[in-house]
Structure 1
């Protein structure tokens, strides 16, 4: 007789205590193989596919989509035939597999047909002993069609609005279904035009009902909850102050254009700003620091692990460039590009989103000039860069149109006084205005 084994949510690392069910990848009654992903979950750091170390027939699932599952709680139960369907490794048959992070297109393991189980087959059904699977000659249920969706946010949006993803034609690359496609489908077809005496008149707008004005409560889960808790703690614990200065970035932009005319990888403005930050932190090491949890001391970090704000499918994240002080401008540009792409696709690991010692926030990409951001706890400082735009500027005693940006610097007043913060910001501004100064630091 098969033995029913329980697979629990493994420890996903980075101090995470649970995860939210985003998408079930198997059904009750389905035959799975060893190490086949069975569920996609969202942690405070990333979207994760969880593989099961058992092969056999899925007899039960635990946790609805959107439900939080604690580490160690059951995910699925699997009927395993004696001597088969268990991954064996040096740590024993019950050793948990390493979990791969990131959103994938679908299950990595081979899918099998479903077999009928005794009882109702409800996902909430309790684990029971089951009979062996039918002989191979028994007809298998056809596998479901593949829907061109990789984002769990798109799937959730479709569920909330009752949109059938299988009926949509995606507008993204290779037919990928995007959030805009779901939004159009949720809005419904455009009202038909009415023809009156040869003229086309728009149909009357639908009446606004009280139900359409009802409040919507959006739970804070996963990444959004982690961000909310971190920002609240930062605002509560850190006595932050901000100073700012306008800088003429004309020479910096000219240098970038000159570098990009030569052979080799293209250099981004962000890479140049990151290089300026590492040089400035070498001159002002007090700002590459954090206050100890008990508030009794300041820890000055030897290495610069440079975080930068990036927008992705799951919202704003802060990837971290490790040991940025040891990288040249081209290397910084390559690493920034790699992490930015990972943020866009949701493929960054928890290790790539934690451990920063200083943050560079280029909010100019949103078309704004200035900001007073909340510090990325427990970091002690953040440099903000506004948009670089033509403005009237006094240059060499005459009024001219120059490429101007606003630099802001937010710092934890416990780690330094205003003189240190002002010295850091002035040095950064001088490097933006006269990038040749960086040659003295190389």
Structure 2
């Protein structure tokens, strides 16, 4: 093991891929420093992360297995506290995780996901109709006008969010992923989101529908021992957040990649490649979530000559994992929809905590992307690709804006 000073993560996420490459160069398991000088281990090797994600000696429960949290060393205003202090399957371990996942899984069955196709198509068509009505030559922020509203409308319908709660909930989700604003108040944002989701639960108790909130609320009300009120609200908060941000960034990066790789764009539009190829290579090349906090060593772990002491925090660095040269070779940094290993990524996780919403995210992208490029065959960037800036986060990986012209310039 090579000893080195911990790498301090850039909380603004100004260049996630360059930082990921720097972390990887120090080894597959590297000491890093999270906001607030909180130490952790970053994992950038696919084989090592697979092993850790399936090891029962690795937990996601900070209350039981992170001494720094248990002992009060992590302050109330720590920027990532809302990621680790919630009570849902994202932070659960062992039997608690299995119990919560079993309750949520019926909402993401293959049948239920497939049944969403007509609504996704309708949402996509409606957004494209709105874009078609914009005057030619206008610069459009395609992240804000397309990549963002497709998944937020889909997940809002799936959850059963009423129109009067949607704007405030969406604002809370945006603040949740912004890790760069040191002046924001994470506990206040969590409490506001908790209040709004509690209103959602009350609304669906009074007005039940065919949605996840109604199903989970009924489960709680009929057998409360299986799901506490806080677990119910925190679980819905997780679904709203995770079901939105990852798909926004997937659409954002897929659009950007095709606009900056014209031959590959032609290949997929002319049938030499598929939209599945585009989606999987985008997930690999630009993981929508760059780093995902946090896991904890339940006991000392010896991996590849490195010891992770009991109680240490572990960060899954998915942006680096997607470009692992051990899996994807010397061209791992290049976007290539013809790459034979493009689906060998861990972007949606692995093992017991693998993302339940992965099929839905893929379906949204496989509907929205061809619809966009078919409707606007002359779609092109309205800025130099190198001038685009990232979102302010070391967790979320996307562009802050995606300026385009929908038609050929006049």
* TM-score bin (small chain): under 0.3
The normalised TM-score by structure 1 is 0.24
Q: Which protein is richer in strand relative to its size?
A: 1
TM-score w.r.t. structure 2 length?
0.25
